[in-house]
Structure 1
Amino acid sequence: MKRTHILLILAVSISVTTFVAAQTSSSQYASPVPRFTFSETLEKQEKELADNSLLKRFHESRAKLLEDPHYPRYHFSSPENRLNDPNGLSYWNGQWHMFYQGYPPEDPRQHWGHAVSDDLIHWRDLPYAIYPDPERACFSGNVIIEEDRAIAMYHGTEVGTMVAVSSDPLLLNWEKVTGQAVIPEWTAGPPPLPNRIFDPAIFKEGDYYYTLTAGQTADGPGGKNVRATYLHRSSDLENWQYIHQFLEDDRYGMVGDDGACPYFWPIGKNEEKHMLIHYSHTSGGKWMLGDFDKKRLKFKVTDGGDFNHGPSAPGGVHAPSVFPDGKGGLITIFNMNPGYPSKGWNQLMSLPRRITLEPDDIWDPIRQEPAGDYASLRGDHERVKNLSLPANEDVVLKTISGNTMELIAEIDPNSAQTIELELLRSPGGEEKTRIIIQPEKGYSPRTFGLDDMRARRAAGEVMSDTVVTLDNTRSSILPTAASRPPEMDSFKRGKGEPLKLHIFIDRSVVEVFVNGKACVAARTYPGREDSLGVALRAQGADAKLVSLDAWQMGTIY
């Protein structure tokens, strides 16, 4: 592929390289999957979709998949074959759009699958949006929205960074800018260019488009690879200038992290901070909080953390897709990896999470809560109130059971060492998924110096973190259902603050939100039809279940 390298000196004294995209085309990787060109009005598009052969195929395929007892009822999964990373979550023309790496059965290379929703919960399948060619496969990227169009940027394998645009009512028709990669994939490059970049994230600031691309640099301890995020900019989406590495004071990564699937957005009621949310092939979903220096074009990292707390596979949280909610928060959806060999499908999407900023909270600066109209799925309801939890006894809730439920619980742990909540429990306990809460068993605060922390602790101002664990090691008796190391998150709980758990159970996935500050999620694959029970246990001392509300949940299909 032809490259033109033009060295420039910017006003910020940064050397850059400009890439002019080639104008040739190739059919080497043309997809055999049915592809359609739709009209440009919503009324005509709806008529065309009503008789679309690909959507009919999706409907028939999903009907068969729903016969699988582990296929989710209200978490999105692909209508046919497997899926991978969510891409380009965005809000256009009054609706939420979610793209994802889909694998059509007749051509199992990554195409961008597509679904649309009014409420982030009920997803409607649409035809594949972006097809490979000239790239071998359409990997991860994001979407930004302008007044008159949506712009997608993604990694096209074997060619480089691709840009595509769409402006029709349902974002059904996409045109690739120049028809070629706008930033060629490097196999080598002179300094300061990185050897390999991937997974771009486009954003706009002033008159320029910018993109962050994932990669690594050998600047870690002992020359080991660590996370690096590279910045390019363009005024026209076609010609891109390499600027420099974007991160500054990044102390929140691990050796081997690579910053894949990045999303960079302002956060806060006044957009006072920025977040870089991404995935690491080493340590899973991660977030960084900091300040965007728009003059120096640097992101100064001030805080960071994890979305999954262990390996992403098997059965864990994987890559994010992120878009602002227009109210200072960010909506994030993750795909979740499989832990059991299912036929015709494997992964699913998490429920959307709303991430918000608490700038005055030095302990837990971000909040995570479920988003979308999940309440519209609620069916039969049961409630338990003021139930004593005697020390060291299992308390089975006889009126509450199911494998497609939403639970909201408030627990007063008193002085119990551990509170356990068992889900998907068989009558004899052969199968069970455990949520374990351990007050003041986590890390000590790291925001203070050691002497300051000791003084505050002595004055009763500081407590260690409360730890929440999601353990699926006894979730299944099936010999090929893979367990994983327990997911463990921690959060600061004030004196006398009750434990508030918001739990979603959907056949083969459990998601747990605690006090709006912690979230753990994992796949589960019970092998017994009677693994439906719920039980609690207080270890070491009595505790109290203040209340528990349980709803049977309907399906989004």
Structure 2
Amino acid sequence: MNDPNGLVYFDGEYHLFYQYYPHGLEWGPMHWGHAVSTDLLHWQHLDTALFPDEGGMCFSGSAIVDHNDTSGLFDGKPGLLAFYTAHRVTGDGPEDYEQEQCIAYSRDRGRSWSKYAGNPIIAPPGFRDFRDPKVIWHADSNAWIMALACGQSIRFYRSANLLDWTLASEFGEGQGRHTPGPWECPDLFELPVIGGEGSRWVLVVGVGAGDDSWGSFTQYFVGYFDGERFHNDNAPEQVLLMDESRDFYAIQSWSDAPDGRRIAIAWLNNWLYANQIPENGWRGAMSLPRELRLVANEQGVRLAQRFAAELNSVLDPAPQSAEPTPLSRGEQLQLTAQSGPTRGRLNLRLAPESQVELSLLPSNLPELTLQRNDQGLRLRHQRQGENGNVRFDRYYPHDFTLALGEGDAIQLEWFIEHGSLELLVNDGLYSLTSIQFDTLLNSAGHCTTLVVTAGEVLVDRLEIQSLKA
């Protein structure tokens, strides 16, 4: 499986659809898989929702609740509408295809789906990459809005009835980062600004992988959407990343989430090696659900993330913890956790010219190095691994450093699961998500180890929580 699709909350359930190929362990003709949850953590698999047909494969998209039967498809009652891209192969070459936008609808809480007889709702435009519709309601202009990935830009369409759509504007030329790969999987939402005034709109854009590149990644823009155009608050060349590591892609947020929360989830992978990662009868996984918020700081208005609060319900309420401790070069702290998934938290302060190595996975090799020098705070992330596949062995290992600004304090929160490491830095202002394959995670226990390799540090907090028995 790959991209999350059609995230919508309806009648007490979170719906998660996803790009799915049920007949193999590598990418194939795309279906929409389907699961539902009442708490974002325990999921029930349902029957496959959408299947390829003569119109093409069912590529990524979104879903909404048609509360007032605006589409006329629900006999005056609320229903679910899914917007997807039909991808149709037109020849034998890799560039021989066309894409169009379609609708499917459900009158029974998402348990069965019918494709709209009037598809496509937006016909092929004459260029190839035209996909991934994200549909929202824009109250200020009293219209439905569709954000659509179109090559190296995002187009915005408007509709009054969810069936007939008119092009309003295009955003992207000269904005943010571009690669040889297309822009993909847009999302669009408004959030209040914590520590600032009013609200801002966020436009999320996936950027496709190119060979000899970082691979697929996700950028975002902060600004104002007036119902027709997106206005970027930042300089066009400013690049804002939702995740600084390798494996947090195709991010989508839930429509109609309760209490006004903006909850998002991502596919944990990278297209440079997605078809080559180790498998165990399946390939592909989602991140933990995360709650998004906008915060104002000295850099401007930035997107921040937190693991969804529901995670606390499945963790042991009594974490293993270490007392606040000053440490000097050569000294270390170590906590032993039970086997299996864990959440960890670390707050520390580094004296000038200090360095700490942190091992989170059972192999006890340091994945993270925290450093303070005359350039400020730095976080280095290393990943090793090979499986004999030339492409995997080339692209999977990495070693990069992230600048965290000035000051002396670093706050980390992470979740280690079977095959992934999700790391949030400084209350989620930075996110680093990577798939990890460690066969020792299911052993009798493993250690989180902190070693001071230069200078002095003060560990204010170090704790590990395992899942409840």
TM range (shorter): 0.7 to 0.9
CA shift for structure 1 position 245: 1.4
- Once the two structures are superposed, the pairs formed by residues 62-81 of structure 1 within 5 Å of their partners are none
Q: Give the aligned partner of residue 178 of structure 2.
A: 254
Distance in 1 (CA, whole Å) between partners of 2:51 and 2:136 is: 23
Counterparts in 2 of 1:521 and 1:499: CA distance versus 1, 3 Å? same
Is the 8 Å Cα contact of residues 415 and 543 (structure 1) preserved in structure 2? no
CA shift for structure 1 position 340: 3.0
Is the 8 Å Cα contact of residues 345 and 413 (structure 2) preserved in structure 1? yes
Q: Give the aligned partner of residue 203 of structure 1.
A: 136
Q: Aligned pair 1:273/2:200, yes or no?
A: yes
Q: Give the SS at the match of 2:398.
A: coil
CA shift for structure 1 position 526: 2.0
Q: Aligned pair 1:357/2:294, yes or no?
A: yes
Moved more, 397-406 or 347-356: 397-406
Q: Aligned pair 1:140/2:79, yes or no?
A: no
CA shift for structure 1 position 357: 1.0
Output the amino acid matched with 1:305: L
Distance in 1 (CA, whole Å) between partners of 2:359 and 2:252 is: 30
Is the 8 Å Cα contact of residues 134 and 146 (structure 2) preserved in structure 1? yes
Q: Give the aligned partner of residue 334 of structure 1.
A: 266
Q: Aligned pair 1:292/2:229, yes or no?
A: no
Is the 8 Å Cα contact of residues 32 and 51 (structure 2) preserved in structure 1? yes
Distance in 2 (CA, whole Å) between partners of 1:207 and 1:134 is: 35
Q: TM-score, normalised by structure 1?
A: 0.68
Q: Give the SS at the match of 2:120.
A: coil
Q: Give % identity.
A: 22
Output the amino acid matched with 1:214: A
Is the 8 Å Cα contact of residues 331 and 352 (structure 1) preserved in structure 2? yes
Output the amino acid matched with 1:278: V
Is the 8 Å Cα contact of residues 152 and 165 (structure 1) preserved in structure 2? yes
Is the 8 Å Cα contact of residues 90 and 144 (structure 1) preserved in structure 2? yes
CA shift for structure 1 position 411: 1.4
Counterparts in 2 of 1:239 and 1:251: CA distance versus 1, 3 Å? closer
Moved more, 115-124 or 483-492: 483-492
Distance in 1 (CA, whole Å) between partners of 2:35 and 2:368 is: 32
1:439-460: per-residue Cα shift (whole Å, max 9, x none)?
4677xxxxxxxxxxxxxxxxxx
CA shift for structure 1 position 133: 2.5
Counterparts in 2 of 1:138 and 1:543: CA distance versus 1, 3 Å? same
Is the 8 Å Cα contact of residues 416 and 539 (structure 1) preserved in structure 2? no
Q: Aligned pair 1:551/2:465, yes or no?
A: yes
Q: Give the SS at the match of 1:289.
A: strand
Distance in 2 (CA, whole Å) between partners of 1:487 and 1:177 is: 47
Q: Give the aligned partner of residue 532 of structure 1.
A: 446
Q: Aligned pair 1:424/2:372, yes or no?
A: no
Is the 8 Å Cα contact of residues 347 and 411 (structure 2) preserved in structure 1? yes
Is the 8 Å Cα contact of residues 488 and 520 (structure 1) preserved in structure 2? no
Structure with the larger strand share: 2
Structure 2 counterpart of 1:307, from 242, 253, 263? 242
CA shift for structure 1 position 409: 1.6
Counterparts in 2 of 1:207 and 1:365: CA distance versus 1, 3 Å? closer
Q: Give the aligned partner of residue 237 of structure 1.
A: 162
Moved more, 272-281 or 544-553: 544-553
Counterparts in 2 of 1:433 and 1:387: CA distance versus 1, 3 Å? same
CA shift for structure 1 position 479: 5.2
Output the amino acid matched with 1:471: Q
Q: Give the aligned partner of residue 98 of structure 1.
A: 16
CA shift for structure 1 position 252: 1.6
Q: Aligned pair 1:160/2:125, yes or no?
A: no
CA shift for structure 1 position 176: 2.1
- Once the two structures are superposed, the pairs formed by residues 54-69 of structure 1 within 5 Å of their partners are none
CA shift for structure 1 position 396: 5.2
Structure 1 counterpart of 2:398, from 485, 493, 503? 485
Q: Give the aligned partner of residue 500 of structure 1.
A: 411
Counterparts in 2 of 1:485 and 1:141: CA distance versus 1, 3 Å? same
Q: Give the aligned partner of residue 321 of structure 2.
A: 383
CA shift for structure 1 position 360: 5.5
- Once the two structures are superposed, the pairs formed by residues 435-450 of structure 1 within 5 Å of their partners are 435-439=368-372
Q: Give the SS at the match of 2:312.
A: helix
CA shift for structure 1 position 156: 1.0
Gapped runs of 5+ residues in structure 2? Answer: 68-77, 89-98, 210-215
Q: Give the aligned partner of residue 96 of structure 2.
A: none
Is the 8 Å Cα contact of residues 131 and 184 (structure 2) preserved in structure 1? yes
Q: Give the SS at the match of 1:84.
A: coil
CA shift for structure 1 position 162: 0.8
Q: Give the SS at the match of 1:358.
A: strand
Structure 2 counterpart of 1:114, from 30, 34, 49? 34
- Once the two structures are superposed, the pairs formed by residues 429-468 of structure 1 within 5 Å of their partners are 429=364, 432=365, 434-439=367-372, 464=376, 466-468=377-379
CA shift for structure 1 position 150: 2.3
- Once the two structures are superposed, the pairs formed by residues 505-516 of structure 1 within 5 Å of their partners are 505-516=416-427
Q: Give the SS at the match of 1:374.
A: helix
Counterparts in 2 of 1:94 and 1:401: CA distance versus 1, 3 Å? closer
Alignment RMSD: 2.9
Q: Give the SS at the match of 2:177.
A: coil
- Once the two structures are superposed, the pairs formed by residues 13-92 of structure 1 within 5 Å of their partners are 83-92=1-10
1:470-527: per-residue Cα shift (whole Å, max 9, x none)?
3212xx576567433236544446x45x322111011211111111111101111124
Is the 8 Å Cα contact of residues 177 and 237 (structure 1) preserved in structure 2? no
CA shift for structure 1 position 138: 0.9
Is the 8 Å Cα contact of residues 178 and 207 (structure 2) preserved in structure 1? no
CA shift for structure 1 position 279: 1.0
1:512-554: per-residue Cα shift (whole Å, max 9, x none)?
1111111101111124576932211223201122221211125
Q: Give the aligned partner of residue 36 of structure 1.
A: none
CA shift for structure 1 position 201: 1.4
Counterparts in 2 of 1:528 and 1:366: CA distance versus 1, 3 Å? closer
Distance in 2 (CA, whole Å) between partners of 1:322 and 1:355 is: 9
Distance in 2 (CA, whole Å) between partners of 1:181 and 1:285 is: 28
Which protein is bigger by CA-based radius of gyration? 1
Output the amino acid matched with 1:244: S
CA shift for structure 1 position 122: 1.7
Distance in 1 (CA, whole Å) between partners of 2:319 and 2:438 is: 23
Structure 2 counterpart of 1:150, from 80, 94, 107? 80
Q: TM-score, normalised by structure 2?
A: 0.80
Is the 8 Å Cα contact of residues 177 and 238 (structure 1) preserved in structure 2? no
Q: Give the SS at the match of 1:157.
A: strand
Is the 8 Å Cα contact of residues 477 and 526 (structure 1) preserved in structure 2? no
Q: Aligned pair 1:522/2:434, yes or no?
A: yes
Distance in 2 (CA, whole Å) between partners of 1:326 and 1:416 is: 46
Q: Give the aligned partner of residue 71 of structure 2.
A: none
1:152-174: per-residue Cα shift (whole Å, max 9, x none)?
111111151111222423x1122
